């Protein structure tokens, strides 16, 4: 198993390699393209390096650019309606307008990339179409969109390079796509550093400041007085908040609940899920302890698919699909949530270590991977009803949640039981 520390060390080496003008390899998520790309800083390209790139890849040479670069260089979208599954933002292809022949040779494509990497280039520096394919990187990089375009741009920024990286997909001798073991063998043969997109995401959540504190105030609740601290993501502008009980600064073993927004459960009292009950019990538990934090992550409806799509999933569940099948039927991941914002909020609150209130192993291990020191897990009751029992069993059986069924008053400790209710 590759540790978080190993992943961060690999990213640090990759950043150095990019700055030194060497290739690095970035492997995409298995759920996306599941491919490895050779990446090089555009300003470090040479005809020799371009020839190597062309010899070991598909030969489709892409160049990451920013939105501003695309505007200045007059690089409109290749098509008006992007039908690509991953919305890869191709612009019109380009060749250098001078200093080349047909544009397709290694030397010619090197010249084109050099112009894309030159801050003095203008629209007239290029002809269209051509043999190099600029791709517009999403602001926010891999945290916003976990693709090779954004990985390339993030590596350029972290290495202090001009924001233009070139990349192409690795292939075998028969031009089939290289997969993980083949990529690792190729990297070892040539001495290239290999990282994953997820390594880069973890690195950015660990070292970049991606949330900002907005405001704080006292907030009286039915469970007593808390303080609310509002944070804004600088990636997408979404506002999240932390409810804090007691003086948590530099404290150890602080009870923490990281809660994903669920309007139907938290506000409307829906019995389809246990979200509202989890939030309510976490507030009650923390109030009784006199110390704790609830981080409320907005924009995570339906395990990250959005409110409207969650309601579509509900309709599918009424037709017999379970909560996992419904997401997949709508072409969404089973669980699209990520917890980088929560980790940064907890770090800003200056907690030394936490006891996490959760049944969700993905949340537990991802927060650990993002540098949160979790001492142990607090188990609060699971409220089971006729409406949500199938949902809860699906979470246990198909998503690996730490739930025990059937349980009724299993423990004398009310915070370690699964409760059954007549709700709904």
Q: Nearest 5°: phi and psi at 333?
A: -65, 160
In angstroms, the CA 135 to CA 248 distance is 45
Query: Is 421 assigned to a binding site?
Result: no
In angstroms, the CA 384 to CA 268 distance is 17
Query: Is 323 assigned to a binding site?
Result: yes
Q: Is 74 exposed, middle or buried (0-12, 13-18, 19+ CB in 10 A)?
A: middle
Query: Is 95 assigned to a binding site?
Result: no
Q: Is 347 exposed, middle or buried (0-12, 13-18, 19+ CB in 10 A)?
A: middle
- For CA atoms 389, 395, 396, 398, the dihedral sign is positive
Cβ-proximal residues to 384 (8 Å cutoff; 6+ apart), any chain: 274, 392, 405, 418, 419, 420, 421
- 337 given a catalytic annotation: yes
Query: Is 196 assigned to a binding site?
Result: no
Query: Is 191 assigned to a binding site?
Result: no
Query: Is 117 assigned to a binding site?
Result: no
Query: Is 303 assigned to a binding site?
Result: yes
Options 17, 154, 335, 369, the catalytic residue: 335
Query: Is 220 assigned to a binding site?
Result: no
- Residue 75: helix, strand or coil by DSSP? coil
- Residue 383: helix, strand or coil by DSSP? strand
Query: Is 393 assigned to a binding site?
Result: no
Query: Is 275 assigned to a binding site?
Result: yes
CA angle, 298 then 379 then 362, to 5°: 50
Query: Is 358 assigned to a binding site?
Result: yes
- For CA atoms 40, 46, 52, 53, the dihedral sign is positive
Options 337, 369, 390, 413, the catalytic residue: 337
Query: Is 84 assigned to a binding site?
Result: no
- 350 given a catalytic annotation: no
Query: Is 278 assigned to a binding site?
Result: yes
Residue indicated by tokens 């897990």 = 377
Query: Is 71 assigned to a binding site?
Result: no
Binding residues for GTP: 257-261, 278, 301-303, 323, 358, 363
Residues annotated as catalytic are 335, 337
Binding residues for Mg(2+): 33, 148
Binding residues for Zn(2+): 262, 273, 275
Binding residues: 32-33, 37, 145-149, 169, 257-262, 273, 275, 278, 301-303, 323, 358, 363
Binding residues for D-ribulose 5-phosphate: 32-33, 37, 145-149, 169
């Amino acid at each position: 198993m590759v540790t978080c520390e190993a992943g961060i060390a690999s990213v640090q080496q990759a950043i150095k390699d990019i700055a030194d003008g060497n290739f690095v390899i970035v492997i995409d998520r298995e759920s996306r393209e599941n491919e490895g790309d050779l990446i090089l800083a555009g300003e470090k390209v040479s005809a020799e390096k371009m020839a190597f790139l062309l010899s070991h890849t598909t030969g489709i040479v892409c160049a990451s650019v920013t939105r501003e670069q695309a505007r200045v260089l007059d690089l409109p979208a290749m098509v008006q309606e992007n039908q690509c599954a991953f919305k890869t933002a191709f612009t019109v292809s380009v060749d250098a307008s001078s200093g080349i022949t047909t544009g397709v040779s290694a030397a010619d494509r090197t010249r084109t990339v050099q112009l894309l990497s030159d801050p003095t280039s203008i629209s007239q520096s290029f002809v269209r179409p051509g043999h190099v394919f600029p791709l517009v990187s999403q602001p926010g990089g891999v945290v916003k969109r976990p693709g090779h375009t954004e990985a390339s741009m993030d590596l350029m920024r972290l290495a202090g390079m001009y924001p233009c990286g070139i990349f192409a997909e690795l292939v075998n001798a028969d031009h089939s796509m290289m997969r993980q073991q083949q990529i690792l063998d190729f990297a070892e043969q040539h001495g290239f550093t290999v990282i994953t997109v997820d390594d880069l995401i973890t690195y950015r959540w660990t070292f970049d400041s991606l949330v900002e504190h907005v405001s704080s105030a006292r907030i009286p609740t039915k469970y007593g007085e808390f303080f609310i601290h509002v944070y804004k993501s600088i990636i997408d502008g979404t506002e999240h908040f932390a409810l804090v009980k007691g003086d948590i600064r530099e404290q150890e073993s602080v009870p923490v609940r990281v809660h994903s927004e669920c309007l139907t459960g938290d506000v409307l009292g829906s019995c389809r899920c246990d979200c509202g009950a989890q939030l309510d019990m976490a507030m009650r538990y923390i109030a009784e302890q006199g110390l704790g934090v609830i981080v409320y992550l907005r924009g995570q409806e339906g395990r990250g698919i959005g409110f409207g799509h969650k309601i579509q999933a509900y309709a599918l569940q009424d037709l017999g699909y379970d909560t996992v099948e419904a997401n997949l039927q709508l072409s969404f991941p089973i669980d699209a949530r990520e917890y980088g914002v929560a980790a940064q909020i907890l770090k800003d609150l200056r907690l030394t270590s936490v006891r996490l209130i959760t049944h969700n192993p993905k949340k537990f291990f991802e927060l650990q991977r993002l540098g949160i020191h979790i001492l142990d897990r607090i188990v609060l009751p699971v409220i089971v009803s006729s409406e949500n029992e199938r949902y809860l069993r699906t979470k246990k059986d198909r998503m690996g949640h730490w739930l025990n069924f059937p349980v009724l008053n299993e423990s004398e400790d009310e915070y370690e039981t699964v409760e059954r209710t007549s709700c709904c």
